[in-house]
Amino acid sequence: MIYLDNAATTYPKPEEVYVALDKANRNAFNTGRGSYKCARAASEIKESVRNKILKLNNLKNGKVIYTNSATVSLNELIFGIDLKENDYVYISPFEHNSIIRPLEELRKRIKINIEIIPFDKETWNPDFDKINDMFAIHHPSAIFLSQISNVTGYILPYENIFKLSEKYNSINILDASQGYGIVHINNYENINYIVFAGHKSLYASFGIAGYIKLKNDKLKQNIFGGTGSDTMNPNMPNTVPEGYEAGSPNIVSICGLNASIDWLNSTDIYKHEKELTDYLIEKIKDIKKVKLFIPNNYENIFGIVSIGIKDYSSDDVGSILDDEYNICVRTGYHCAPLIHDFIESLWYNGTVRISLNYFNTKDDIDLLIKALKSL
Amino acid sequence: MIYLDNAATTYPKPEEVYVALDKANRNAFNTGRGSYKCARAASEIKESVRNKILKLNNLKNGKVIYTNSATVSLNELIFGIDLKENDYVYISPFEHNSIIRPLEELRKRIKINIEIIPFDKETWNPDFDKINDMFAIHHPSAIFLSQISNVTGYILPYENIFKLSEKYNSINILDASQGYGIVHINNYENINYIVFAGHKSLYASFGIAGYIKLKNDKLKQNIFGGTGSDTMNPNMPNTVPEGYEAGSPNIVSICGLNASIDWLNSTDIYKHEKELTDYLIEKIKDIKKVKLFIPNNYENIFGIVSIGIKDYSSDDVGSILDDEYNICVRTGYHCAPLIHDFIESLWYNGTVRISLNYFNTKDDIDLLIKALKSL
């Protein structure tokens, strides 16, 4: 089987992660201020992994809040940053329903305005002049941008967009689910929160994700419950991260993340995956029937490539690749509704998404190319 | 090591669960309508485990909604059942902060009233006459009850309390985190939702929990995001469970739950654990220094026993048991603030909680008794 659906979840994980998960399952104590050593040891791992997450991107002074999924992280942020009626929120056309749907809910509840940041259809560059004008007319209260598009693999120039919001006190959120730990976030001066997903670019398991709070803005709490501390108080504690982590943390998945970060630190994933991405694009662009959904310069495409095949619905391509070639890709709209109009993939019922990871090889791509040529 | 903190998380899990988790981790594909067989197979397991959860308690027609933790389940319910300003919500003094804290938040947001159901301090029986009067004066909009108290192991007569609410259209929620799958829920005619926690009585791992929707009442959505379906719609689907499960499900933990339910079905856990509980109480009640927090008839105490030791803070007892006897218990307030006034354990800084599971033996209890006698 050739697995090319790594944007859904990376597979396989490093052997070290499987070993750590099994070991943790077989020693899974609940954390918290238990009165015994094992519970305290579990709490210590939970804290030390926070630092490892920060160090992975050389972040200074951030605070890591664990959640169970990137979707939960984004919900906590969208409902937590205290948007008000008539506020203007900006998103890119590359965003996922984990951003669009909670914002739409908020629009219905309190009438916020959701604006789409303009990008050029050829170069995929943002139209900075127009964005400047938009921000000047309707000051941004919050901006949500993906680090890497989950459909197209495009690394957005988020830092340049966030920079334009400097004078407006905007709360800026970077959804780094597809890239945290692999594609470095260089400029984070204008970022308030970074969202990460353990089971994607971090090569850990399901059950652990979170967000990094980089600034001192106020964040309303969204999930309430036991924190193992201050029990007699019916209110959540006010502290970060304690006040934002109700319920038993998934200590097993945290142990898996602990192992995966060690592995990430010892492996040059970016280089290998970028080479594979470029190799894939080079090979695929010569196939006549293929429509490649990339900008005219694909320097900033990383790990994910979406295509359409002339005269085929994307779902049919997926089925053929699976049935006849044992190749796993994901097809359709990938929970990102706006991008299909932008890249004009509606005609194909969405895209055939090929997403790579460190364990893929050029041989995998050669087999995919052979399969696509046979269509 | 003698592990007596099973109310925090059951440990160990059955070997079958560890094997299933490792296998699932090594084959962890994301679910959803992927265009390949493995993703569809993952989706099928996700659906079949829902039926197994229902069958475990012979529930007819319920719908299982997965969440990542019982705390999240309770938050979704508390913020989802559409309580209005001035509504009356009833809870027992046995409830956990995963109920009390979200209700308190709602009280601050929209001014609901939170009433405590009266229980007799000797018998721990509810005062049904008084409850009847309370319900008549202030009709219940919702009632939250634990199946089993996480501090005292008391199996609440929830069915009789819920029955009193029949004429008021109350939404009744049973928090079965400590007992689902082991202690049968016999009367569920007046229950709207049952909450379960995979990593506790179900002997599965962290990362999987949920609630069972037994009736047709409307439930507002709380977490918004990708559902792998209807992508172009900025609203969540309206269907159950799809509309309530945004984001990637934890398919690995679901596979662990699949194995643990098979094990539960083949093992008489209730009988063994009830025998152990009674044995523990019989042995412990003769120790002079021990204050046992049980009602005068302990027929309905299951799996969990809380005690205080004269002249000791409960934390100190925990430390001694850990350091000198390698016995793990949890001490303090156990995230349940109201019960300590009811059982009068504040004097001891909370309780020393001894919580059992299927893998404990009478020898474990004998060693604990020996340790307690040495204090």
Model confidence over A134-178: pLDDT tens digits? Answer: 999 999 999 999 999 999 999 999 999 999 999 999 999 999 999
Q: Which residues of A29-51 are buried (b: 16+ CB within 10 A; e: fewer)?
A: bbbbebbbebbeebbebbeebbe
Domain B2-11+267-374 falls under CATH 3.90.1150.10: yes
Mutate to test the interface with A, among B3, B6, B17, B25 (most CBs of A within 10 A): B25
Domain B15-265 falls under CATH 3.40.640.10: yes
Nearest by CB: A225 against B39, B102, B327: B102
Mutate to test the interface with B, among A18, A96, A238, A248 (most CBs of B within 10 A): A248
Mutate to test the interface with B, among A37, A101, A313 (most CBs of B within 10 A): A101
Structural domain boundaries of chain B?
2-11+267-374, 15-265
* Residue in chain A lying closest to B31 (CA): A8
**Looking at CA atoms only, how far is residue B251 from chain A in angstroms?**
8
SS3 B204: coil
**Token digits for A241?**
């991260």
What fold characterizes domain A2-11+268-373? Aspartate Aminotransferase, domain 1 (3.90.1150)
Question: CB distance B18–A22 less than 8 Å?
Answer: yes
**Looking at CA atoms only, how far is residue A167 from chain B in angstroms?**
30
Q: Which helix (H) or strand (E) holds A107?
A: helix A97-110
- In the chain, the amino acid numbered B190 is N
Q: What pLDDT does A40 receive?
A: 85
Range from A20-34, A216-230, A323-337, A355-369 carrying the lowest mean pLDDT: A20-34
> Mean pLDDT score of chain A, rounded to an integer?
96
**Looking at CA atoms only, how far is residue B167 from chain A in angstroms?**
30
Q: What share of chain A is helix, strand, coil (3-state, %, to 5)?
A: 40, 15, 45
How many residues make up chain B in this entry?
375
Question: CB distance B101–A206 less than 8 Å?
Answer: no
**Residue carrying the six token digits 């979840």:** A9
State phi, psi for A45 to the nearest 5 degrees. -60, -45
Q: What pLDDT does B154 receive?
A: 98
**Looking at CA atoms only, how far is residue A218 from chain B in angstroms?**
17
> Mean pLDDT score of chain B, rounded to an integer?
96
Q: Span A57-75, mean pLDDT?
A: 97
Q: What is the 3-state secondary structure (H, E, C) of A190-235?
A: CCCEEEEECCCCCCCCCCCEEEEECCCCCCCCCCCCCCCCCCCCCC
* Residue in chain B lying closest to A206 (CA): B250
Q: What pLDDT does A34 receive?
A: 61
Q: What pLDDT does B32 receive?
A: 67
0.95 surpassed by pTM: yes
- Report how far apart, in Å, the C-alpha atoms of A133 and of each of A76, A89, A177, A306, B272 are: 30, 15, 30, 32, 71
Q: How far apart are CA B215 and CA B211, in angstroms?
A: 12
Contacts of B252 in chain A (CB under 8 A): 205-207
Mutate to test the interface with A, among B35, B89, B250, B345 (most CBs of A within 10 A): B35
Q: What is the pLDDT of residues A259-291, one digit of tens each?
A: 999 999 999 999 999 999 999 999 999 999 999
pLDDT beyond 80 at A297: yes
**Token digits for B98?**
């995963």
Question: CB distance B11–A28 less than 8 Å?
Answer: yes
Mean pLDDT by 10 residues, chain B (375 residues): 96 97 88 75 93 97 97 98 97 98 97 98 98 98 98 98 97 98 95 98 98 97 92 94 95 97 97 98 96 96 98 96 96 96 96 98 98 96
Q: What pLDDT does A32 receive?
A: 67
SS3 B317: helix
Q: Span A189-212, mean pLDDT?
A: 98
**Looking at CA atoms only, how far is residue B230 from chain A in angstroms?**
8
Q: Span A277-306, mean pLDDT?
A: 97
Counted across chains A and B, CB pairs separated by less than 8 A come out at: 286
Contacts of A332 in chain B (CB under 8 A): 33, 35, 231
**Token digits for B226?**
């990708």
Q: What pLDDT does B229 receive?
A: 83
Report the complex ipTM.
0.96
